Amino acid sequence: MTQLFKCRMIYEKLMKYVLFFDEITKEDVAKVGGKCANLGEMTSRVRVPVPYGFATTSDAYWLFLEENKLWPRIEKELSKIKNINDTKTLKQVGKKIRSMIIKARMPKVLEKEVKKAYEMLGKEYVSVRSSATAEDLPGASFAGQQETYLNVKGEKKLLENIKKCYASLFTDRAIFYRQQKGFEHSKVALSVAVQRMVNSVCSGVMFTLDVRNGDSSKIVIEGSWGLGEYIVQGRVTPDNFIVRKKDLKIIEKHIADKPVMLKTTLRGVIEKKVPKKLRNKPVLSDSEIKKLAKYGLELEKHYEHAQDVEWAKDKDGSLFILQTRPETVWSEKKEKEEEKISGKILLKGLPASPGIGAGKVKIIMDIKEVGRVRPGDVLVTTMTNPDMVPAMKKAEAIITDEGGVTSHAAIVSRELGIPCIVGTSTATNILKEGQPVTVDGERGFVYEGIIKAKVKKKEFKKVKTKTKIYVNIGIPEIADKIAKKPADGVGLMREEFIIATYVKEHPLSLIEKGRQEFFVKKLAEGIEKVVKAFKPRPVILRFSDLKTNEYRELKNGEKYEPHEHNPMIGWRGCSRYISPEYEEAFRLELRAVKKVRKKYKNLWVMLPFVRTVDEVKKITRMMEEEGLKRSKDFKLFLMAEVPSNIFLADLFSQYCDGFSIGSNDLTQLILGVDRDSEILGRMGEFDERNLAVKRAIQHLIKTAHKYGKTVGICGQAPSEYPDFTEFLVMNYIDSISVNPDVVEKTRFIVHEAEKKRDEIAKHLKKSAKV
């Protein structure tokens, strides 16, 4: 990576329309689209292997359109679409626009930069992928066609494929989805990712939840020989592996017959027969499955969201992550409970998208026939493709002969909320045109006739609990959406994300430049978005808890941050706030809080990584000097994540309103286990449910309550372990703050635990009287 970094440094001042991956972060979606932003983020910030490359920027795309005077002509064509369900007009318009783009010339300045960047990659074989600036975001998966060209070599071919990617922004499917989801065509640009090719022995996809039912405790990995495109297309039924997250145990294996594969050759990408000895052999060993699952956990942890990942294994045995994006279906889907149905089963397949749908069979064997699909039909085909999306939207259910749970049919059906069964092998032969059927996408059954079934929704919002159920949040932009959940407030608002994305520059650097007000303004803006969305419910803001290695990643950060061998227990939290080197910067955080509290009184604060009582004393004095004094409507909490917080809970209680248990750090420091250690993780050494950790929590709750202080928890454990949540309730914890996706589930678990706890208490009270 050193050589590549030097290459980038040589050319970075010359580049305007091209960025190398290590120059890009996830905040650059507007410049390079979601796909390229994630490739850059993984390259620079996440511990997963990514093939190196570069991206053309959205500015390059607009330059291309401007120099060729294309946009007025494109708008004129798009205006001809009066109805997005008019398939004929949609195809005509899309074809005309794509032709315009492919025939246009590449601007000289852009061509020069692309050639220079390609030279830096050694002019090797590369893959060329599109990355629309509105794609790979929740609810916008199809803002741009996700086009891929493999095994590209030579400057001429590279430039041609970049133009093809530009044209892919106007495929029928892309135009349909942008209009259907309300995206303005002029607001979506396109970036192109150019990556070194991986000579794929095998490849596939990975979801960090079970896409069949949304179970977030599992990871699903699918793979086949050769390139992964045949999995998405449904051309092959892949091997399927299910991995349990908590210990990376492989709990399910389904090895498929894989007769063909897609391979790269000097003549391009071709289909080849899989050697007989490999057809029924797993594409991955157990150790490789676990390594991939580990990468999946790293990505999910980093992005704080379930991920949809593409992977490949090189001929030398190395595993690579090709791209990642947010999983956009189950993360937003409300939990549903389907009523079981019974009847004559005509067909079985893989459950790909849950729900029950019934209608008359419409068999589509050719893309030219999609116009025959009417609303309420059950679409039956060999395998869907992107051009079928408008027809799929009309269907009541979808059945395919081929494909796995991550094939095109499965993915699109889940986003559209349509029941789907894939990999039936014989649906197009067994089912008859016009035949009435009922499709159970939850269990993978096709029944004869129309069977009425009711859908029951779990009404979590109606469940009341004595224990407060809060939510954890780090991204202000999703506050309005998360605020709609039945949470009692925000138990943990992380300040780090705002600093990294709104401020971007090291606080001490801004102070040196005299830009203190910029820091205060930007930090206050981010905080206010969350506080306003949740008003009048309380929002507990945790002051910045970046480690030295994380602060160094901010602009000019290396100038102010020391190199620590173990930043996890280094200069962080309260010790940073009171140090002479950083005190002024912390006071800016206090001023941002004061600024927000002038408008919203539901903002409270919390101190992270408190080591000593003296630290709290000094910080509370600083807070008072900045006009932030504890009161009935302004509370101060301490993170309980250091063993001293437990042993000295009686002393800490004198200077705060309550504690919030950080179960990750507390477990790590009590057990002496690095929570990021792969070896110890596999061994199950890091476990918040360890008896020592539980006893520490019991002691804290008991001591805090004795002094009239509240205790909550905002670590990861309650989001993952229902039994741990029950333990907390049994010990009368005051609040539990969890990830947004499990708020409803957690409240239900707490509700049941409280009933059990109160029954036990009632029984003990009666026994005492006797």
Whose CA is closest to 632, among 657, 597, 606? 657
Sign of the Cα torsion 747, 751, 754, 756 reads: negative
Residue 114 backbone phi and psi in degrees, to 5? -65, -40
CB 600 within 8 A of CB 528: yes
Question: Length of the chain in residues, anyone?
Answer: 770
Rounded CA separation 378/346 (Å): 14
β-partners of residue 324 are: 309
Which helix (H) or strand (E) segment is 380 a member of?
Answer: strand 378-381
Place of tokens 């897609």: 262
Q: Is the peptide bond before 536 cis (omega within 30 degrees of 0)?
A: yes
Which helix (H) or strand (E) segment is 352 a member of?
Answer: strand 350-353
Sign of the Cα torsion 269, 273, 275, 280 reads: positive
Token duo for residue 78? 């798009």
Which phi-psi region, left, alpha or beta, contains residue 491 (left: φ > 0; alpha: ψ -120 to 50)? alpha
Residue 470 backbone phi and psi in degrees, to 5? -100, 170
Rounded CA separation 67/71 (Å): 10
The strand ranges marked E within 72-134 are 126-132
CB 170 within 8 A of CB 210: no
Which helix (H) or strand (E) segment is 314 a member of?
Answer: strand 307-314
The catalytic site residues sit at: 408, 714
Measured CA distances, 194 to 41, 101, 133, 135, 161 (Å): 15, 19, 16, 17, 10
Rounded CA separation 150/127 (Å): 4
Token duo for residue 550? 């994380």
Measured CA distances, 81 to 74, 86, 93, 236 (Å): 12, 8, 8, 36
Rounded CA separation 605/585 (Å): 17
Token duo for residue 388? 């079928």
Could you tell me where the DSSP H helices lie in 634-721?
A: 643-647, 649-652, 663-671, 678-683, 691-706, 717-720
CB 218 within 8 A of CB 243: yes
CB 385 within 8 A of CB 233: yes
Rounded CA separation 144/140 (Å): 9
